[in-house]
Structure 1
């Protein structure tokens, strides 16, 4: 693999990696930041293994509100514990108590714990948050982003990523420009006129055999007279960036040039055709700029062939 191909591969890999990161970030942002406001659910990150194996540390729990009066044994709910720091706990309900004053209390237990939690919690308000689904591992990433180390380095990491992507775009553009610059193998070069004129003689001989000598000469004269108009039409339509019009113009130039033996001009027209189909307007413009000189040379060669 050449260095240029390696650069292109690295640039594409960096672009793909950036796309994956951006899509992932947007998904997490939508889940954590926008989703609760739009769909009304609540998210909480599981910090312990008390609910293994169903919910593991780092999983994000999505809960939806439901009336406290409808809580049943077996539900997994998120609620504030009535002791210590009143943190939010996500455990399974093992007992529901309906108090005389109309409130609802519950006893809970972690699936991985051997005994129920050592408290009875009265559910505040009319609703409670019941777990509906679990999104694995996202919480680990969120917690990592909140650490001082990551927050202190995230700016430089983001800046480095932006620079890498910028360089990859520049490398890709340079590679594309190099690939699209016409070389001597693509655009006809100056050569001895004898081989070129031989092509005209062969083409006119074929026309004479298929039709007649007089019509071959008439067709050659008409091609020469119409050539400036065809060249101008190619220039105008390519400049307009209208694919269908440009193809129509360049195909007319290519087919007519092949018929009379103007191979160099036909090859250049074919190159423009390919560039237009790919909408590579930079390459099309480059070749179009050389068409007038090729057209003048082709008319001169045809005239010399007819006079011989």
Structure 2
């Protein structure tokens, strides 16, 4: 049991370090390139804000997009693109249309009754759906808030204090046995 608890503690610390390093990297990327979605090794994370892709994706889900060559995009792929209002939208490709030697994409949200009004040019595509985490977006939004950040910091400090106390108790027991 102790080995399991120690493993969980080590795993938690490793995850916190990884998340912290990734967050710093993403923040730096956002500062350097403010008009682009930051990525790590070609993967981008976004939060779903609407139900237009239900039942596959719901509001509050976190999605991981993989950068792709738009030439490889095909019908039924779920892509994220910048619409003409410069907003990111994640919808499914329903058809390809040739126009002036360029392939354009018709898209539609799974829960929508009609296709999107505008055709999507290859340069508008930012990635293809790779994976999604249901409802994780709600937790991330909470962590972005003041209360969430403070709660997160308190939990981390508590874990550190508990670890120090456990180490102190173990050292005390060891020194008592030695004497």
TM-score (norm 2): 0.69
C-alpha displacement of 1:17:
5.1
SS of the aligned residue for 1:114 comes to coil
Of 164, 168, 172, the match for 1:166: 164
Unaligned runs of 5+ in 2: 27-37
C-alpha displacement of 1:78:
0.4
Show the 5 A alignment for 1:35-114: 36-37=39-40, 39-83=41-85, 86-100=86-100, 102-114=101-113
CA 1:159/1:28 → structure 2, altered by over 3 Å: closer, same or farther?
closer
C-alpha displacement of 1:26:
4.7
What is residue 229 of structure 1 aligned with on the other side? none
CA 1:164/1:87 → structure 2, altered by over 3 Å: closer, same or farther?
same
SS of the aligned residue for 1:43 comes to strand
Q: Which has the higher helix share?
A: 1
C-alpha displacement of 1:87:
1.9
| Equivalent residue pairs, number | 167
Q: Which has the higher strand share?
A: 2
What is residue 139 of structure 1 aligned with on the other side? 137
Name the Cα RMSD after superposition. 3.5
Structure 1: distance between partners of 2:55 and 2:75: 19
Structure 2: distance between partners of 1:59 and 1:28: 18
C-alpha displacement of 1:79:
0.5
Structure 2: distance between partners of 1:31 and 1:111: 32
CA 1:14/1:72 → structure 2, altered by over 3 Å: closer, same or farther?
closer
Unaligned runs of 5+ in 1: 1-8, 183-308
Contact 2:108-2:114 at 8 Å conserved across structures: yes
Structure 2: distance between partners of 1:27 and 1:115: 42
CA 1:58/1:79 → structure 2, altered by over 3 Å: closer, same or farther?
same
SS of the aligned residue for 2:93 comes to strand
Structure with more relative contact order (C-alpha pairs < 8 Å, separation 6 or more): 2
Show the 5 A alignment for 1:181-192: 181=178
| Higher Cα radius of gyration | 1
TM-score (norm 1): 0.44
Of 128, 147, 150, the match for 2:148: 150
Deviations 1:143-189 (A, max 9, x none): 222112112444444333322221121112212333x236xxxxxxx
What is residue 120 of structure 2 aligned with on the other side? 122
CA 1:20/1:49 → structure 2, altered by over 3 Å: closer, same or farther?
farther
Structure 1: distance between partners of 2:5 and 2:161: 11
